[in-house]
Amino acid sequence: MRWNMRMKAAEAGIWKSTQLRRMFAEAGLEISAGKMSGWWAGTPTTIRLEDLDVICFVLNCTPADLLICEPEAVAARRPAKKTATQAGSQAAKTARRAAPGRSRSKPPA
C-alpha cells in the first residue's frame, strides 16, 4: 500500500506540512514534527485508528482515499515457483538425508 495523504492535502489546498499539522492540532491531534514529516513524506510507520479519524476529518476524505493498493508490489514479494527440475532435486536431497539404515551417532548417555 502507498500512503496518499500529501495528495489529499494538495486537493484540499494545503501545501505545507506545518499548515496541516496546525489543522490536526485544532482538531485535537497533537503530533511531533518528526511524525508529521514521515506522514508528509509518505512513509508513516504506524497510524492509530483514532489518528486516522482526525486525518480523514481534516482532509474530508475516507481511509480508502489515503491508502492506495499496489497489487504488483504484493506479487513481487511472492517467492518464485520452483521448476519441476528444482523440485525433483530438492526431493532427492531430502530422501538422501532421511534414508533408513544410515549410521548415526548414539545419543549421549
What does the pLDDT read at residue 89?
64
Task: Kindly indicate the confidence band of residue 95, based on its pLDDT and cuts at 50, 70 and 90.
Answer: low
- Fold topology of 2-68: 434 Repressor (Amino-terminal Domain) (1.10.260)
Q: Give which of 1, 2, 4 is closest to 61, Cα–Cα.
A: 4
User: What pLDDT digit, counting tens, does each position of 27-55 carry?
Assistant: 999 999 999 999 999 988 889 999 999 99
- Yes or no: say if 9 and 59 are a contact pair by the CB < 8 Å rule: yes
Rg value, the chain, Cα: 26
Domain ranges of the chain: 2-68
What does the pLDDT read at residue 34?
93
- Yes or no: say if 7 and 68 are a contact pair by the CB < 8 Å rule: no
Going 37 to 66 to 43 to 13, the CA torsion angle's sign is negative
Task: Kindly indicate the confidence band of residue 98, based on its pLDDT and cuts at 50, 70 and 90.
Answer: low
What does the pLDDT read at residue 28?
96
pTM (predicted TM-score): 0.65
